[in-house]
Each structure stands twice: as C-alpha cells, then as structure tokens.
Amino acid sequence: MKLLARNLARNTSETELKTLFESFGSVQSCSLVLDPKSGGSKGFAFIEMPKPGEAKAAVKNLNGKDVDGHRIRVKKADKAEKTEK
C-alpha cells in the first residue's frame, strides 16, 4: 500500500521517516520529494508498505503525530498523488 505523508519538517530525512514507519511493519520504499532547484525537501513523502494491515496501523498511529515540531498528515496515496513525484 502506498502512503502519503504531508506537512513534514524541511529537515526530516528519508532515514528518519523510514524508521518512523518501520515501527509499524516493513517498509518497501520511502521517497522524500525534493525541490529540483534547491535540493531541499518539499515537505512530503511517499512510503510503500507491502502489508495492508501494517500500512493501516501506520496511518492510524502517525496521522496527526508531532514529528520535528510539525503535525504530520498520513493517508493512503490516491492515483493522482502517486504520479506527483
């Protein structure tokens, strides 16, 4: 299941994000979306978790959680968002 994490702090790294989601199960991939001009984070990322139950647990527990001073939003990515990268 592909998830979308939004409202990330600009200093949150892919490694930190992957570790956060791995506390709920296996993470197939974690892609922080970067600004092509500055190379900095755009404040959102896509996370793929192969087991739907683990992905749903991550959404339930991480949506609204404070991470690096930002209240993140986590949801299942829809088809339009999957091509946003």
Amino acid 17: pLDDT: 95
Strand spans (E) along the chain: 2-6, 29-34, 41-48, 66-67, 70-71, 73-76
Amino acid 19: pLDDT: 97
The rounded distance, in Å, linking the Cα atoms of 80 and 32 is 17
Amino acid 80: pLDDT: 60
25 C-beta neighbours (distance < 10 Å), count: 16
| Entry pTM | 0.90
Helix (H, G, I), strand (E, B) or coil at 13: coil
pLDDT tens by residue, the chain, 85 residues: 999 999 999 999 999 999 999 999 999 999 999 999 999 999 999 999 999 999 999 999 999 999 999 999 999 998 766 555 4
Domains in the chain, start-ordered, CATH in brackets?
2-76 (3.30.70.330)
